[in-house]
Amino acid sequence: MNKFYMEKGSFCTKLYIGTDANGKPKYKKLKAPTEKELEKRIREYKNAMDSGLNILKNNDTLLNWINHYLEYIENEVLCDNIKESEYKTLKARLQYFVDYSGGLLAKTKLNDILPSHIQPAVNALYKKNPSTGKNTAKKTLQRYIRALANVFEFARKERAYNFCNPCDDVKIPKNAEENSRTAINKHTIQLILTTEHRAKLPACIMLLAGLRRGEVTALTWFDIDFKNRIINVNKSYDFKQCELKETKTKAGMRKIPMNDFLYNLLLEAKKHSKGSYIVQKVYGGRMTETAWKRLFESYMEALRIADGRDEDSLCFADERFEEFTAHQLRHTYCSMLQWSGVDIKTAQELMGHSEYGVTANIYTHVDDATKNNAAILQDKFIKETLIS
């Protein structure tokens, strides 16, 4: 029978919960406004102890559990079970919830957090992405929520959490857009292949060989095998760490065959190159994040001028110039492989995708361009359709 005592108008008691490392008894102080409610809290606490719940960790804050979880993931990185880049991405996503509302959510005890506490954080993230300052796409929101949900699941495995995961009931805002990267249209491809600009070479490498921006940045003339018409992709540039590293995945180490158009473009560019890097800044040296941004801003303007039509011109959507990102060029390369009748397994290897599903997701997206261009070989597609 527990003894009750009064303290500042509340009924209190001390419940024995075990001993510490030195063998000294440990007690948990419980309090409630009424004697009946205190008895109920005692029963709940004892039931939690009987079920194997780690009472000593049960009252830790979300911030503490995020740190515990990241420490666990960091050890997984050391064991090569998780890539360091994945750890950094996860840490950045969880940091958002740590910083949200001045750390108010992070300071809340894990057991006290409800879906209604997390929902405002997700709504705010939708309205303004911390990286872009724009609305956050649906898929990205789902990844942030999943990162936080994993913290609760980790606490459950550590027997310190015994409730439903509150993240399961957090809703994505209805207006959140699908983060779909569609292939650029035929008219825009034609402008890329025919408009002279300093960005034409890197754009064509992404479009006709499917390289990522970091892979293009790290690409040197030593990686081009002109004799066998092969591009050897064996490294990438990490803009955040400002260093060369291995490709995004092991599957990223690949050999890309060049079609006639890209082969001739690279051959001509080599004649005028003054450095080892294929794509360089204006005055030489490896491309930076800022250099890429300025290059593409200038390129979009040049393509817009080459198009010669304003936004109000009457024409079909696939006949209108549309701005694009570097990754959209890579996405379009995959779509062009589909248009050319290349099987999905070969496309996966050429794209450097470690997972079959990533390639399959692009291949199963059937749009008007796919319907109109299926079964056309890539070289024929470029020569006869785009530049003739």
Q: What is the pLDDT of residues 376-388, one digit of tens each?
A: 456 666 666 565 5
* pLDDT exceeds cutoff 90 at 314: no
Same domain, 309 and 368: yes
Q: Is residue 321 part of a domain?
A: yes
Cβ-contact 379, 257 below 8 angstroms: no
Cβ-contact 328, 317 below 8 angstroms: no
pLDDT at 121: 95
Q: How many residues does the chain have?
A: 388
Total domains present in the chain:
3
Same domain, 296 and 240: yes
Q: Is residue 68 part of a domain?
A: yes
Tokens of 371: 């319907």
pTM of the predicted model, to two decimals? 0.58
CATH of the domain at 284: 1.10.443.10
The alpha carbon torsion through 369, 374, 377, 381 (nearest 10 deg) reads -30
Same domain, 154 and 203: no
Q: Which residues pair with 286 in a beta bridge?
A: 280
Q: Compute the distance between CA of residue 201 and CA of residue 50 in angstroms, rounded to an integer.
A: 67
Q: pLDDT digits over 339-360, tens only?
A: 788 888 888 888 888 777 777 7
In the chain, the percentage of residues whose pLDDT exceeds 90 is 44
Q: Which residues pair with 16 in a beta bridge?
A: 27
Same domain, 84 and 191: no
Cβ-contact 64, 161 below 8 angstroms: no
Same domain, 12 and 94: no
Domain that holds residue 42: 5-50
Same domain, 15 and 91: no
> pLDDT category, 176, cuts 50, 70, 90?
confident
pLDDT at 363: 65
* Least confident range of 28-42, 91-105, 135-149: 28-42
Same domain, 203 and 239: yes
CATH of the domain at 71: 1.10.150.130
Same domain, 370 and 296: yes
Q: Output the CA–CA distances (angstroms, integers) from residue 272 to 13, 65, 267, 338, in the order listed.
A: 83, 56, 10, 34
